Amino acid sequence: MAQQHGYPRRRFIQLGVSILTVGASAPALAGSGDLAVIVHANNHASLLPSEIEAIFRATKRHWANGDPIVPFNLVPQTAERTLFDQTVLGLSPAAVARYWIDRKIRGGAPPPRAVPNAGIALRVVASLATSIAYVPPDLLTSDVRAVALIRNGALASARARSAPWEDV
Amino acid sequence: MSSVALAQAPLPPAEAAAGSTPSPQDIDRAELRALREELARQKAVSEIQAASLAALQAEADSKSSVEAQTAAELAQTEERLRLYGFLDFGLQKSWFPTSSGLNTVIESTSSTFVLGNLNLYLDARPTERWRALTEIRFTAYPHGEFTEAQPGRAFQRTNNQVFDVNSASGGFAQTRWGAIIIERAQIEYSGADWLRVRAGYWFTPYGIWNVDHGTPTLISLSVPQFVVSEAFPARQLGVDVNGTLNAGAWQVEYHAYVSNGRTPGQLDLTEDKMLGGRLALSRTTPLSMTLGASGFYGGYSDKQARTVSFSPLKFTHDEVAAYKELGVSGDFSLDAQRLRFRTEVALNRRVYDKGKHEVGWYPGAFFPSRIFWGTYALLAYDTGFAGLEPYLYAELDRNMYPVSQGILTPSVGLNIHFTESAQLKLQYSYAKQFDFDDLGRDLSQQYLSFLATRLVVAF
């Protein structure tokens, strides 16, 4: 951890603000550059932004019930992946690559598996109860549940207040 | 496909107009019929297009489902065995006076190419909660190893050159056999984020340098003296329970371990195990930082088996060296935009049992009970231009060195990141030896200038 590259530029919006900010339906949430962090529809976990970051840094590897978390990234160099890494991890594409090299050398856990596009990420999460990924909000279906939203370069999670998010 | 469908859409036959002059009603009827026919034609085309679209969608869904299913299955099984590692090579040169004590351990001041590290990781995950991680360093050692040039001691050099009798040349070829260093060999079980266990041979969880340990990850090349002299054992054989807990934006990491501690051989010769642990607080926003503290307590014992008598048969295990030691360390790292700052301090307090001191640097001398410590600070800045990352490094150590009590090492360095996995590292250090106490020794010639470079690739 200590000698990694990391240039945090994130802005966290507090939960209350985020709940007021986001809309109540998927079309209202959808916009270019928006991403929804999704889990399986039967996964009722709620996550803080810091926990989502820890999952995709592979420092948090288990759900509350002890099941291993299976995170999915989109492949590098895609707009969605770059946005996610910048917003959630606070790392540029080069810094992300270096982060995972550092993790390997230190003996840490491997990076999340990458899938080619958001459509596949959606289907994977819909079929794998312990998985988590991110997709544009307009792709959401009833098979998955959004636990956080990336909008305007900030990550807001719905922890403790799920009502607006259940419509997503 | 839709254009084909359009071309193939069934068209009603055209009717010839009646020979007589049509009445207005006849015209209306004809137009109505034409409109109906046109409507039927459009409907047929629309149905064909809808069918084509559905077929295409089904095909896309099927393909996507297969890919998703494959990804899900792969994720559940993970890769059973992964191979990765790093390799570094470089050029280095040192400068020091002929009266420097360093002449006993450094053969030459000539510039030389060096093969630094060739480390290979074998990362096996037979099931989702179990892992076996091995890191092996391949070396050309011990070829060329030589005895320290101590007074009254003959110089000897190890030669590992052997005839390669398996060679197809008929046995005249020669080769130098090398060796491997087990950097770590550990079995891990992950029960939950707050409860993980690793058992085997692992890097002692303390500070920054010892955990980073690899040239791709470390910012500087120079190894801190307290790492060289092992204020903390670099590796231990035992069981380490560890985990992480999230407390808001902070993450708390803990380690608690029991191990053999330092041993003269492969096995522990006493029942007093080394106990130690680490606690670290870290966060990544608004700045990425880690604050850590580590400590251990343990004992060392070296025994020699001896036959006292044959009849009756009697043996003794004489303890020839023994001490208790306590180690504490603290570390802090900070990433602020393009700036990286690292600092750590480690201290060791070693108390020998009476009459069981280890043999010292010089013939007839013994190491005293003592406290030794070291600290360094490093500041690096990523310019964002051509991968250039210059840094400043300063280190201060106190120990019982052969000719001094302390070493002060200012240093400058430059890392050039060609890609995320390839970089060139350069560091120039000036190490000056001195005494903390006024011992009246002339240490003006006890210094070392050292230039190290490494081309590093992680794979």
Residue B105 CA to residue B95 CA, distance in Å, equals 13
Is a pLDDT exceeding 70 seen at residue A22? no
Higher-confidence residue: B362 or B437? B437
End-to-end CA distance of chain B: 48
| Residue B217 pLDDT grade (very low, low, confident, very high; cuts 50, 70, 90) | very high
- B150, B363 Cβ separation under 8 angstroms: yes
Axis crossing angle, helix B24-77 with helix A118-127, rounded to the nearest 10? 70
The alpha carbon dihedral of A131, A136, A137, A141 has a sign of: negative
Q: What are the chain A neighbours of B72 within 8 Å (beta carbons)?
A: 124, 127-128, 131
Q: Does A70 contact B at CB distance below 8 Å?
A: yes
What span, in angstroms and rounded, lies between the C-alpha atoms of B141 and B137? 11
* Structure-model confidence comparison of residues B102 and A33, the more confident one: B102
Q: How far apart are CA B19 and CA B93, in angstroms?
A: 111
Q: Which residue has the tokens 């201290």?
A: B347
Structure tokens at B184: 């770590």
pLDDT at B138: 97
What is the spatial distance between Cα A97 and Cα A94, in angstroms, rounded to a whole number? 5
Residue A163's pLDDT band (cuts 50, 70, 90): very low
> Which residue type, as a one-letter code, is found at position B338?
R
A8/B211 touch (CB, cutoff 8 Å), yes or no: no
pLDDT at A60 over 50: yes
Q: Of residues B16 and A117, which shows the higher confidence score?
A: A117
CB contact (8 A) between residue B246 and residue A50: yes
Q: Looking at per-residue confidence, does A83 or B3 come out higher?
A: A83
Closest chain B residue by Cα to residue A4: B217
d(CA B409, CA B376): 9
Question: Chain B contacts of A12, Cβ < 8 Å?
Answer: 285
Residue B328 near residue B303 (C-beta atoms within 8 A): no
**pTM for the full predicted model:** 0.81
Report chain A's C-alpha Rg in angstroms.
15
Mean pLDDT of B401-416: 96
For B13, the token pair is 């036959």
pLDDT at B155: 83
Q: How confident is the model at residue A29 (pLDDT cuts 50, 70, 90)?
A: very low
Question: Is the separation of the CB atoms in A20 and A115 below 8 Å?
Answer: no
* pLDDT band of B11, cuts 50, 70, 90: very low
What is the maximum span of chain B, computed from C-alpha positions, in angstroms? 145
Q: Are the beta carbons of B246 and A116 separated by less than 8 Å? A: no
Q: Is B285 exposed, middle or buried (0-12, 13-18, 19+ CB in 10 A)?
A: middle
Does the distance separating the beta carbons of A60 and B244 come in below 8 Å?
Answer: yes
CB of A54 within 8 Å of a chain B CB? The answer is yes
In chain B, which residues have their Cβ closer than 8 Å to the Cβ of A105? 86, 212-214, 216-217, 458
Q: Express as a percent the part of chain B with pLDDT over 90.
A: 72
Closest CA to B107 of B139, B148, B160: B148
A16 has a chain B CB within 8 A of its CB: no
For B76-90, what is the mean pLDDT? Answer: 86
pLDDT score, position A57: 95
Contacts of B69 in chain A (CB under 8 A): 123, 127
For B127, nearest residue in chain A (alpha carbons):
A68
pLDDT for A30 beyond 80 = no
CB contact under 8 A, A5 and B64: no
CA distance A122 to A128: 10
Interface test mutation site (partner B, options A74, A103, A104, max chain B beta carbons within 10 A): A104
According to DSSP, the β-strands at A70-74 and A144-151 are unpaired
Over residues B176-201, the pLDDT tens digits come to 999 999 999 999 999 999 999 999 99
Please give the Cα distance from B216 to B159 (Å, whole number): 31
Predicted local confidence at residue B290, as pLDDT: 97
**What ipTM, to 2 d.p.?**
0.79
As a whole number of angstroms, the distance between CA A105 and CA B206 comes to 16
User: Tokens 């985990």 label which residue?
Assistant: B243
pLDDT at residue B105 above 90? Answer: no
Residue B438 in contact with residue B67, Cβ under 8 Å? no
**Mutation choice for A interface testing from B254, B288, B329, B337 by most A CBs within 10 A:** B288
Interface check for B184 against chain A (CB to CB < 8 A): the answer is yes
A163 touches chain B (CB under 8 A): no
Q: Which pLDDT value is given to residue B118?
A: 97
Residues 6+ positions from A145 with CB-CB distance below 8 Å: A38, A39, A40, A41, A43, A44, A165, A166
d(CA B380, CA B342): 9
pLDDT, tens digit (0-9, with 9 covering 90-100), for B113-137? 999 999 999 999 998 899 999 999 9
Q: Per-residue confidence at A12, pLDDT binned at 50, 70, 90? A: very low
Tell me how far apart the alpha carbons of residues B90 and B180 are, in angstroms, rounded to a whole number.
20
- Which residues in chain B are contacts of A113 at CB distance < 8 A? 71, 74-75
Q: What is the pLDDT of residue A5?
A: 37
Confidence of residue A159 (pLDDT cuts 50, 70, 90): low
What is the amino acid identity at position B330? G
By CB atoms closer than 10 A (0-12, 13-18, 19+), residue B174 is: exposed
Chain B residues 93-132 within an 8 A CB cutoff of chain A: 121, 123, 128-129
For tokens 């606690």, the residue is B279
Q: Find chain A residues with C-beta within 8 A of B184's C-beta.
A: 107
Query: Per-residue pLDDT for B51 more than 90?
Result: no
Assess A153–B contact: CB distance below 8 Å, yes or no: no
Q: What is the mean pLDDT of residues B239-264?
A: 95
Closest Cβ opposite residue A123 in set B65, B84, B246 = B65
- Cβ contacts (< 8 Å) between B335 and chain A: which residues? 4-8
The pair of three-digit structure tokens given for residue B301, joined into one six-digit string: 């014992």
In chain B, the residue whose alpha carbon lies closest to the alpha carbon of A129 is B72
Which residue does chain B place closest to A55, by CA atoms?
B193
pLDDT in the model for residue B46: 86
Residue A164's pLDDT band (boundaries 50, 70, 90)?
Answer: very low
Contact between residue B312 and residue B295 where contact means Cβ atoms under 8 Å apart? no
Q: Does B254 touch chain A (CB under 8 A)?
A: no
- Please report the pLDDT score of residue B422 as a whole number: 97
Whether B26 and chain A come into contact, CB under 8 Å, resolves to no
Percent of chain A with pLDDT over 90: 65
User: What pLDDT, in 10s, does the model give residues B327-376?
Assistant: 999 999 999 999 999 999 999 999 999 999 999 888 889 999 999 999 99
Asked if residue B267 lies in contact with residue B300, where contact means CB atoms within 8 angstroms, the answer is no
CA distance A117 to A124: 11
Q: What is the DSSP letter of B23?
A: P
Q: Pick the more confident residue, B351 or B247.
A: B351
The helix or strand, by DSSP H or E, that contains position A80, with its residue range, turns out to be helix A79-84
Residue-wise over A111-134: b if at least 16 C-beta within 10 A, else e? bbbebeebbbbbbbbbbbebbbbb
* Chain B environment of A127 (Cβ under 8 Å): 68-69, 72
* pLDDT number for residue B205: 98
Given this model, what pLDDT does residue A21 score? 38
Q: Does A1 touch chain B (CB under 8 A)?
A: yes
Handedness of CA B389, B390, B395, B401 (dihedral sign): positive
